[in-house]
Amino acid sequence: MIYWSTKVSFSYRSDGEDTLALCNLCGENLVEWSLQAVQKGVHAMAVTHDPEHAETRVIHDLIDFSGTDVLEVGCGDGRLTWRYADRTHSVLALDPDATTIEQARASLPEPLRHTVTFQVADITSVELPPAAFDVVVCSYSL
């Protein structure tokens, strides 16, 4: 498991009311924290994405993306894709939600258009060539 410390600003809807909170995840396992949130009735959550760049630093500390072919599972609107795609050979970013894929395509920076492909697909049913990727990135896709 990967642990990191960062401040995450998030809003969630529980029992029909929007609540804004600031959570310091120092030393907490993010997956366990997310599961606890679901158990407490959190129905939707929007995270302010990496205001301190901690997530970006951790990703690059763990993985050298230089020249790699990357499969990103659960890419959403591409919020994580932009943090590493410029170093890769190619990125195939999948998400089952057509709306978020359209958002990702619309915000795709011109210099990355030859590198990144966004595709509406579910990882459980999409056919991918064997051994085609050096790295698989899964973020918020548990």
Query: What's the CATH number for 65-138?
Result: 3.40.50.150
In the chain, where are the structural domains located? 1-62, 65-138
User: What residues contact 92, with CB distance under 8 A and at least 6 apart?
Assistant: 69, 70, 71, 72, 117, 119, 128, 133
Q: What is the pLDDT at residue 1?
A: 30
CA distance 104 to 6: 25
Which of 91, 89, 65, 87 has its CA nearest to residue 78? 91
Amino acid at position 37, single letter: A
What are the pLDDT digits (tens) for 42-100? 444 444 556 677 778 888 899 999 999 999 999 999 989 989 999 999 999 999 999 99
User: What residues contact 50, with CB distance under 8 A and at least 6 apart?
Assistant: 6, 56, 83
Which of 97, 91, 93, 83 has its CA nearest to residue 118? 93
What are the pLDDT digits (tens) for 28-43? 444 454 455 555 554 4
3-state secondary structure of 119: strand
